[in-house]
A and B are shown apart, each in its own frame.
Chain A
Amino acid sequence: DAEITQSPRHKITETGRQVTLACHQTWNHNNMFWYRQDLGHGLRLIHYSYGVQDTNKGEVSDGYSVSRSNTEDLPLTLESAASSQTSVYFCASSATTGGTNTEAFFGQGTRLTVV
């Protein structure tokens, strides 16, 4: 069965370190997204990609970067981790349907703690 997986599921890192969260999907979806979820804020869009070599900034992109070298993967990098980036991170993917919303499939999340 097709799926979307995130790794690691939990990570603790120190302030100032570079951290990369992995996201891998086997749906063959063109669209991939990264969200962060914090109490009281819901899900906020960090970065998204519509295909290979395409990346776009979302609502809260400062301090984060992504790259899309193939269809399956969209790694999220925190260039210099800050305590404000302690959060649960969700990766998602969806098929392209000509610009309309389609069902997004979410990974199980990565809980990141920056100390």
Chain B
Amino acid sequence: GQSLEQPSEVTAVEGAIVQINCTYQTSGFYGLSWYQQHDGGAPTFLSYNALDGLEETGRFSSFLSRSDSYGYLLLQELQMKDSASYFCAVGNQAGTALIFGKGTTLSVSS
């Protein structure tokens, strides 16, 4: 089966940098995805890493180390609107159904 561990809460101030870690266990690895969900909203896709290394998309970056079964989401120049829950996810045995971690709630204060 699959399991993912991520911190339940992270707090930071505007303009800061925050890193949300995710460790996973899976029988077959098809990449690590990250999703953002604002209160009352639907999860939305942020990034996907299939290979080791850093992927950068604007203020957000995602890193993967397959040998360590570890990844992280890096959020830079934090803004109040970044306050949300962030989920890491891996594919199930067939690779196409996402299994999610329990989520990390990020609170950004001024």
Contacts of B102 in A (CB 8 A): 40-42
The answer to whether A25 has its CB under 8 Å from any CB of chain B is no
Which stretch in B65-73, B75-83, B87-95 binds the other chain? B87-95
Q: How many residues of A contact B (CB 8 A)?
A: 29
Partner of B92, one of A35, A45, A92: A45
Q: Does A58 have its Cβ within 8 Å of any Cβ on chain B? A: yes
- Of the listed stretches B12-20, B41-49, B52-60, chain A binds B41-49
- A16-24, A70-78, A79-87, A94-102: which lies at the interface: A94-102
Given A42-B102, A45-B99, A108-B42, do A99 and B94 touch, yes or no (CB 8 Å)?
A: yes
Number of A-B residue pairs, CB cutoff 8 Å, is 74
Contact pick for B98, options A33, A41, A107, CB 8 Å: A33
Q: In the bound complex, what is the Cα–Cα distance between A35 and B97 (angstroms)?
A: 10
Kindly identify which residue among B48, B87, B92, B96 contacts A43, using a CB–CB cutoff of 8 Å.
Answer: B87
CB of B7 within 8 Å of the partner chain: no
- Minimum C-beta distance from B88 to chain A (A): 10
Contact: B33 with A43, CB < 8 Å?
A: no
Given contacts A42-B102, A43-B100, contact A99 B87 (CB under 8 A): no
**How far apart are the CA atoms of A58 and B90 in the complex, in Å?**
14
B33's nearest neighbour on chain A, judged by CB, is A101
Q: In the bound complex, do residue B42 and residue A50 qualify as a contact, i.e. CB atoms below 8 Å apart?
A: no
| B101 CB contacts on chain A under 8 angstroms | 42
**How far is A100 from B103 in the complex, measured between Cα atoms in Å?**
22
Nearest CB of chain B from residue A33's CB, rounded to whole Å: 6
Given A43-B87, A100-B30, A94 and B96 contact (CB-CB distance below 8 Å):
yes
9 tightest A-B contacts by CB? A42-B102, A106-B42, A99-B95, A43-B100, A103-B45, A48-B97, A101-B31, A42-B103, A101-B91
